[in-house]
Amino acid sequence: MFTFTSGSRGRTASRVAVLATAGALALSLAACSSGRGDTTSGDSTAAAEATTVTKFALVAPENESDFGWNQAGLSGAQEAADELGIDVTLVPDAGWDNAETVLGQVIDGGAQFVIAHASGYGVAATSVAADKKTPILIQDAGENIPGQIAVTQTQAQEGGYLAGIAAAMTTKSKTIGIVVSADDLNWFKMSAGFAEGVYSVDPTINVLYTSVGPAAYADAAGGKTATEQLIASGADVIFGMGDGATHGYLQAVEAAPGVKYIADIGDVTSGLSDPSVLLTSVLWNYGPTYVQAIKDVEAGTFGEQGYELTVENGGLSLQETDNLTSTIQSAIDKAKAGIADGSIVPTPASSADEVNTVIAAKKGA
């Protein structure tokens, strides 16, 4: 089942339709009123031509309940729609098997720009963009193709570095755990940056690293077990990267007195019975990137270059909580300035082996 949500809050009511997907997909997207004038949908005569965007879409493999990747993409798309006063079709729970079909059909339904919000959608998106002559934003890897494809990358190691500082200044046991749900490039980047942030405060801290599985993004039970093992090994701060596996991380942390949790990408507060266990979250804000991408589509420059989420441009930040004391925040602000001026360059690891090499090196102050 897919849920399609169309509309922009505050201007037109959201409409939701749930459609069965047995056999060939049959998608029916309701037309929405527009706040930026009329335009032809889904039928651009030249890939690089400027066009006024009145409706766009985001397709995500899961939904906002993951507290992470999907939540950030969906909320970022809604933020962009609200800021620009245009319509958005949100397609959560699209899964992985029919990406090309779904991407093509949201374009047929009127989207003049599409966000394919999963690194695994890159190949399908590139094919659809060429076929439909419609610009699509993809994630993490791929080629920028003027008028058709632009790639968004996240300098996740920078956000991880800031979180590492917070963890190091919070731990009492001097043991900190990292748990990831998959062999994911962004998780590798963030884990390495996190370890270096920890060591910048205290190189004697023990950093433990574990994975739920090679592609266990939604494995809550496995996430719970992996987190329990880290806590049993003495970790009193857990940095969890998971999507749906996050539910398991939270269960394990809340059952362990004195343990603090660092989330990633989204806000997990609503998933906690005791929000005080949350030290912070490395928030990823896609809204400004989506706004810029739409402006580039309208200027006819989409695909000439890609986009990045960084600490300096505000794409990456730490969630404010009561646990981030003024002393911790001061250290974080100093590190942010160092990242911005280039004096601090966290390592963007690209594999678990590279993460473990960074952890073993214990580079610090």
pLDDT at 175: 98
263 domain residue, yes or no = yes
Phi, psi (deg, nearest 5) at residue 136: -130, 135
> What Cα–Cα distance (Å) separates residue 365 from each residue in 197, 199, 201, 271?
10, 7, 6, 36
| Alpha-carbon span 115 to 303, nearest angstrom | 13
Q: Which of 130, 154, 178 is the last residue of a domain?
A: 154
Q: How many domains, in total, are found in the chain? A: 2
Distance in angstroms between the alpha carbons of the first and the last residue of the chain? 51
CATH number assigned to the domain comprising residue 279:
3.40.50.2300
pLDDT at 224: 98
Q: What is the pLDDT of residues 50-60, one digit of tens each?
A: 789 999 999 99
| Alpha-carbon span 215 to 52, nearest angstrom | 39
pLDDT at 50: 74
Q: 23 and 148: one domain?
A: yes
306 domain residue, yes or no = no
Q: What is the pLDDT of residues 295-313, one digit of tens each?
A: 999 999 999 999 999 999 9
Task: Tell me the three state secondary structure of residue 171.
Answer: coil
Q: 115 and 198: one domain?
A: no
Weakest mean pLDDT among 63-72, 86-95, 104-113, 235-244? 63-72
Question: What tokens appear for 112 in the block?
Answer: 């003049």
Q: 229 and 278: one domain?
A: yes
Task: Tell me the three state secondary structure of residue 250.
Answer: helix
302 domain residue, yes or no = no
Q: 174 and 149: one domain?
A: no
Q: 259 and 145: one domain?
A: no
| Alpha-carbon span 137 to 126, nearest angstrom | 9
pLDDT at 48: 55
Q: Whole-model pTM?
A: 0.80
Q: Which of 154, 170, 201 is the last residue of a domain?
A: 154
| Alpha-carbon span 267 to 6, nearest angstrom | 23
| DSSP type of residue 29 | P
pLDDT at 346: 97
234 domain residue, yes or no = yes
Instruction: Give which of 146, 116, 114 is closest to 46, Cα–Cα.
Output: 146
pLDDT at 57: 98
| pLDDT(96) > 90 | no
Weakest mean pLDDT among 76-90, 157-171, 351-365? 351-365
Q: 219 and 356: one domain?
A: yes
- Percent of the residues in the chain that have a pLDDT greater than 90, as a whole number: 76
Q: How many residues does the chain have?
A: 365
| Alpha-carbon span 339 to 193, nearest angstrom | 11
Cβ-contact 302, 308 below 8 angstroms: no
The residue type found at 248 is G
Exposure of 37 by Cβ count < 10 A (0-12 exposed, 13-18 middle, 19+ buried)? exposed
Q: 257 and 174: one domain?
A: yes
Q: 250 and 145: one domain?
A: no
Q: 212 and 323: one domain?
A: yes
> Which of the pair, 184 or 17, is modelled with greater confidence?
184
Q: Which of 154, 189, 207 is the last residue of a domain?
A: 154
Cβ-contact 339, 312 below 8 angstroms: yes
| pLDDT(331) > 80 | yes
Q: 125 and 114: one domain?
A: yes
Q: 14 and 149: one domain?
A: yes
Work out the average pLDDT over 243-249: 91
User: For residue 270, what are the domain limits?
Assistant: 156-284+314-361
Instruction: Give which of 272, 271, 209 is closest to 239, Cα–Cα.
Output: 209
What value does the mean pLDDT of the chain take? 87
Which of the four pLDDT bands, split at 50, 70 and 90, describes residue 328?
very high
Weakest mean pLDDT among 19-33, 68-82, 157-171, 333-347? 19-33
Which is it for strands 114-116 and 55-59: parallel, antiparallel or unpaired? Answer: parallel
Residue ranges in 8-121 assigned as alpha helix (H): 69-84, 99-108
